[in-house]
Amino acid sequence: MLASPLLRLVLVGLLLAPSLQAADKPQPDAPPVAESPAAASPVPSSPASPVPVVHVDDPAHLLPAGSAAPAAWQARLAAFEQSTGIRVIVCLRPASPNAEEDAKPGNYMRTLSATFEVARGGALAVYFADEPDWRLWIGDELTARFAAQPGAATGPTNRAAIHDAKELVFAAALKAAEQAAPEDRLAVQTTALIDSLLARLAPR
């Protein structure tokens, strides 16, 4: 005997009722996922490394290629600054300042010394290949020490004393290079100038 359509619907409804009731029940909330400590706290960034100071500036490469002198000067001047707090910069330039840069006495060196942060407590030596000639800037805080003889106590100073001390530094550099080969002359000159300059600026 075949079941009537109405009976078949009743039977299907009875079969589906349990699964529908289970689906209607509220489901328990899933436990919150614990955030790992690494994800919760930001990773601290490592401190930026200090930019090394360039103590020797030779953008036109006036020294012969492969010369070991610039690296030796850089290491020596960096060590001097670390031990004394005095920064000394050496620049090698192919040409002298133009008329505008050199309009006022000392203006070019004053501006360049400020760029290298040695205007008050440091020193700047610049070589111009076209002259050829050197110029020196001694910061105000060091003029008395520079003008005194190496090893002597510092005392009152004046412009004439500073000028005389600069001439002695230049003379020592030129004399050291007299016997050097032409291609080595600038390196020998610069080394001697650094020797003389640091001797005068070293704390006493």
Residue 67, Cβ neighbours under 10 Å: how many? Answer: 16
Q: What is the pLDDT of residues 143-177, one digit of tens each?
A: 999 998 665 555 556 788 999 999 999 999 999 99
Mean pLDDT of 47-70: 84
The Cα–Cα gap between 7 and 52 comes to: 93
Site of tokens 């614990």: 34
The Cα–Cα gap between 127 and 89 comes to: 11
Confidence of residue 11 (pLDDT cuts 50, 70, 90): very low
pLDDT at 204 over 90: no
What is the chain's alpha carbon radius of gyration, rounded to the nearest angstrom?
39
Mean pLDDT of 17-44: 51
The Cα–Cα gap between 91 and 112 comes to: 10
Site of tokens 């004053």: 110
Among the listed residues 61, 194, 54, 186, the one whose alpha carbon sits nearest the alpha carbon of residue 127: 186
The average confidence (pLDDT) of the chain is 82
Among the listed residues 140, 180, 132, the one whose alpha carbon sits nearest the alpha carbon of residue 159: 140
Element (H, E) at 124: strand 123-128
- CATH 3.10.310.50: does it fit domain 56-201? yes
What residues does each domain of the chain span?
56-201
The Cα–Cα gap between 69 and 185 comes to: 12
What are the angstrom distances between the C-alpha of 103 and each of 21, 97, 98, 100, 119?
A: 97, 9, 8, 5, 19
Provide the pLDDT for residue 20.
45
pTM of the predicted structure, to 2 decimals: 0.73
